[in-house]
Amino acid sequence: MKEINALELRKKFGEIIDEVRYRKEPMVVRKNGRPVIVLIDIDVYRSSQENAKEEIFIEEYTAERIEEFLKEDKIDKSLFQSVLRKTA
């Protein structure tokens, strides 16, 4: 990941925005030698937010929900036991 300092960002703000936008690569901004922010293209950001929402949705399938599927005969018992072992 590319890094720049805050002074360079200030001097080349438009160029830096274009670079982040068109290359779709995040850029770390350092101030006093420490990383303080990350600049990221909006499409990349939105995609990461969607991925995070999907991961949260997947994690919500707890043993209780799996049990509901089992009761409705949507999954067989061996699959249920296998999933329970993986989520425990």
Domain boundaries defined on the chain: 1-40
Higher model confidence: residue 87 or residue 17? 17
The two counts, helices (H) then strands (E), for the chain are 5, 3
Can you give the pLDDT at residue 63? 64
Higher model confidence: residue 11 or residue 88? 11
Nearest of 56, 59, 69 to residue 79 by alpha carbon: 69
How are the residues of the chain apportioned to helix, strand and coil, as percentages rounded to the nearest 5? 60, 15, 20
Vertex 9 angle, CA 1 and 28, to 5°? 25
Residues 9, 10, 14, 16: what is their CA dihedral angle, to the nearest 10 degrees?
Answer: 0
CATH number of the domain at 1-40, out of 3.90.1150.10, 3.30.70.100, 3.10.129.10, 3.40.1620.10? 3.40.1620.10
pLDDT tier, 69 (very low <50, low <70, confident <90, very high otherwise): confident
What's this model's pTM, rounded to 2 decimal places?
Answer: 0.57
